[in-house]
Amino acid sequence: MCRILYVAAERPFDPREVLKPFAALSQASKEYQGHGWGCASWTGTAWSLHHDVRPIWECALPALPPTTRLVAHARSAFEDRDVRVENNMPFLENGWVFAFNGELRGVRIREEGRIGAEKLFRFIQRFAVGHGMEAALRKALPIVEQRSTRVRAMNMILAGAEDAFVASLHREDHEYFSLHRKRSGGTLMLCSEPFPGESGWEPLPNDCVEVLA
């Protein structure tokens, strides 16, 4: 039930330029998105993480170095549980950052992790060995759906050193869970909602896995 954002640009940009409208839409969301937030910015050689347990709209946005790629996440914790900064995404593991938006019930997978999103991230990584992350997503997500008693949505962004992927799947509340995409002037943005007051956004197809720039 969280909000997620991915931005890739041909030229470096100030992360605050996109974090400000992301904070505004998170604050205005019909679901409370104030259980902390985080972002991962690409330095050119590695991902740099920033996490905060406060609502993103109550924080002074950090003065991060200019970047060409950014992943951000505003958290709506399931049943208001486990509200701790270490549970805020994006998660970083094996060179990949992961941000999740959705809700699953009764998931029957065996994996280590503090919260369900971390378990899901590690479960997907199992299938990437020898096959790549796109193939892993296409293989793992149907298995997760089959092993869940209820799937409201499974939206996620995975970004590595060179590649990035999005998975969009929602079975309920399609308006709320639909991801949106915008391309403009060499910049690709993908977000849970269009930025406030901006045109040019289009919904991402449901039940898809796509390569991001």
pLDDT digits (tens, 9 = 90+) for 53-62: 999 999 999 9
* Alpha helices (H) along the chain: 16-28, 116-128, 133-146, 174-177
Third-level CATH fold of 3-212 = Glutamine Phosphoribosylpyrophosphate, subunit 1, domain 1 (3.60.20)
Distance CA 120, CA 142 (A): 12
Distance CA 182, CA 16 (A): 18
CA distances from 91 to 27, 130, 149, 211 (A): 22, 22, 25, 19
Counted residue by residue, the chain has a size of: 213
Whether pLDDT at 79 is above 70: no
Phi, psi of 165 (to 5 degrees): -140, 150
Q: How many CB atoms lie within 10 A of CB 55?
A: 18
pLDDT of amino acid 114:
87
Name the pLDDT band for 80 (thresholds 50, 70, 90).
Answer: low
pLDDT digits (tens, 9 = 90+) for 96-113: 999 999 999 999 998 888
pLDDT digits (tens, 9 = 90+) for 166-182: 999 999 999 999 999 99
Peptide bond into 66 cis (omega under 30): no
pTM over 0.85: yes
Judged by DSSP in three states, 110 sits in: coil
Positive or negative, the CA dihedral 10, 159, 206, 13 is negative
Sheet holding 164-168, edge to edge: 91-93, 96-105, 150-159, 164-168, 208-212
pLDDT of amino acid 113:
85
Percent of the chain with pLDDT over 70: 98
